[in-house]
Structure 1
Amino acid sequence: MISLQDDLDSLVNSPSSFSEKAGERGTIKPKADFNAGEDAAALKDAIVGLGTKEKVLIDILTQRSNAQRQLICEAYQEATGRTLLEDLKGDTGGDFEDLLVALITPPAAYDCHEVMRAMKGAGTKDSTLIEIFASRSSKQIKALFEVFKKGRSWVHFKNLFPTVPDIILKFCFCFQGKRDESTTVDTEQAKEDAKTLYEAGEKKWGTDESKFVDILCQRSIPQLRQTLVEYKNISGKTLQQSIEGEMSGDLEELLVAIVKCVKSVPAYLAERLYESMKGGGTDEATLNRIMVSRSEIDLMDIRAEFKKLYSYSLLSAIESDLSGEHGDCVKALCGGDD
């Protein structure tokens, strides 16, 4: 039987979704022999004709890369004088509309939209903020902030979103693409960081949260994986076990999410998908966000982790939970059974 320590040791050199090239483990690939004009014309016919042909919308928008969808949007506006966004909003509705709009939105703009939506209104959706910032690469987070607006400080964030807990805001601001992206591992630094985390949490009366945010937000993924190994050596527990035992609320959820993503973004997002569909009612916003944002990155790996964790496939979960055009569109993104 493989021990937890062995698992951590093997983790250090394992592939990471943070460094994977787009498309390698995604379910959506760029279409060969792509013609934006032809796709735009087909979408126009599907929308403008008598009754919307939802299957055409799904077939085209789920089988093109996001970059190709942007070209389709340009061709559509040139051909019709209207934006595809306006026509989709005028001709579809509900969760299906939300999903189609997400598909034609550039990735950084979509992440920014989801962050802003999570921060506004009654009750901040902290889990959405945590999910996005914990699972995105430095490049993705830099792009998100560029969409939001350059030069905003943490104070600006606090003024804009007074209902968001301070620890979540600090975390989001610290994550402005500051993570080291090197692949080399400094074992002595990992030991030092592990000791710092142990003394800031497990060994301390009260938690020095700033030490956790600084280390977990800025060290490279390989470096943090080595730190997890060293922490287990010092503490006798995993860092996740210590966090869950010592902390609660937003801080616990935040730090556990980071640790889970350091180990495996696909496994973390598989859990998020499961949570979005379990029990009565579906969290369609989370389901849409993960399926769209990971469809060209690592959705194949998320599918594999889902099957490993829950003993049934992601596709079968979607089929049980969703119906109609929205269900058909999500299934198309899923790309197959396992």
Structure 2
Amino acid sequence: GFALSEHSTVRGTIKEKPGFNPSEDAAALRKAIEGIGTTEKTLIDILTQRSNAQRQLICKAYQDATGRTLCDALEGDTNGHFEDILVALITPPAKFDCQEFIQATKGAGTTESILIELFASRSNHQIKAMCDAYLAETGRALIHDLKSEVSGDFEKTLLILAEGKRDESTNVDMAKAKEDAKILYEAGEKTWGTDESKFIDILCHRSVPQLRQTLVEYKSLSGKTLQESIEREVSGRLEEILVAIVKCVKSVPAYLAERLYKSMKGAGTTESTLTRIIVSRSEVDLQDIKAEYKKLFGTSLYSDIESETSGDFCQTLLKICGEDGK
């Protein structure tokens, strides 16, 4: 069920390797990196077929044996998107989310679509871990820095999500779902001008099972889906984040499958999005994402990656993805 997915890797594509030996792996990586010409296949085989926890032990063994970090070694020896994905693989998940957040908020202009994806698709637990990693990395509170990056109702929504305060109870209060649906209907479709604060409050605070029921009640009350109403009533970044929350309430894997599809089928492939989603969900729900992808787009994630990317980067993605259900 919903609560399970948090710590279990049942729906991931990467499992712990039995009979795992970190110093053996570290030695093989060292040979692949320091030998004449890097043996990319070795790097791919080892780093995609171990769990993240196992990769952390490999990093430690590598540093103990060589006096330099595996990250430095990979950065010195590989490049481009291939380097990025290998480094992503050896980064602890919360730290990886944190680095993606930093990347999205630095430089000219914030990449809002990444912030939306991070905060709409992560659980309270993952958001808290990302905030902890951010504090460790920068010495500052993520929420504090987020405030200076974005503004208005979009900001308000991100900040509420970043606090990780979504209700986590699994009980569904039917009367409350009806009442919330009515509040949303009256705040949007039924009035001149939309009261966005009601949408923000309900969509950011209620539990996922509760919101699922609210979506059902909304449809029977208004004849439209909540997503359709949001698309009609709200605009800009706020519309994007509220729609993303609704999609994640229905199914995080389906939402991420759509993100992957758009990252490949848009103008030019967005490799960083492929890397972020495939790596960060590899031990969470990549199996489900693959199934949703096939259902939504009629083609397999595996074959689309194969045709839209190339080289060692492509091979790494395919190895993480796994061939089943090609």
Shift of 1:261: 0.5
Q: 1:45-56 maps to which residues of 2 (within 5 A)?
A: 45-56=31-42
Q: 1:1-338 maps to which residues of 2 (within 5 A)?
A: 15-16=1-2, 19-149=5-135, 152=141, 156-159=145-148, 161=149, 164-175=150-161, 176-338=163-325
Please, what TM-score do these two structures have when normalized by structure 2?
A: 0.94
Asked if the contact 1:266–1:299 (Cα under 8 Å) also holds between the matched residues in 2, the reply is yes
Measure, in 2, the Cα distance between the counterparts of 1:151 and 1:234.
Answer: 45
Shift of 1:170: 2.1
Asked if the contact 1:17–1:298 (Cα under 8 Å) also holds between the matched residues in 2, the reply is no
Name the amino acid aligned to 2:247. Answer: K
Structure 2's unaligned 5+ residue stretches are none
Structure 1's unaligned 5+ residue stretches are 1-14
Q: 1:151 to 1:219 in 2, by over 3 A?
A: farther
Name the amino acid aligned to 1:33. Answer: G
Measure, in 2, the Cα distance between the counterparts of 1:137 and 1:148.
Answer: 16
Q: 1:107 to 1:53 in 2, by over 3 A?
A: same
Give the alignment's Cα RMSD to 1 decimal.
1.7
Shift of 1:336: 1.0
Aligned to 1:4: none
Asked if the contact 1:18–1:136 (Cα under 8 Å) also holds between the matched residues in 2, the reply is no
Share of identical aligned residues, percent?
65
Measure, in 1, the Cα distance between the counterparts of 2:117 and 2:297.
Answer: 20
Please, what TM-score do these two structures have when normalized by structure 1?
A: 0.91
Name the amino acid aligned to 1:80. Answer: T
Measure, in 2, the Cα distance between the counterparts of 1:158 and 1:21.
Answer: 30
Measure, in 2, the Cα distance between the counterparts of 1:278 and 1:156.
Answer: 33
Measure, in 2, the Cα distance between the counterparts of 1:155 and 1:47.
Answer: 40
Aligned pairs, number: 321
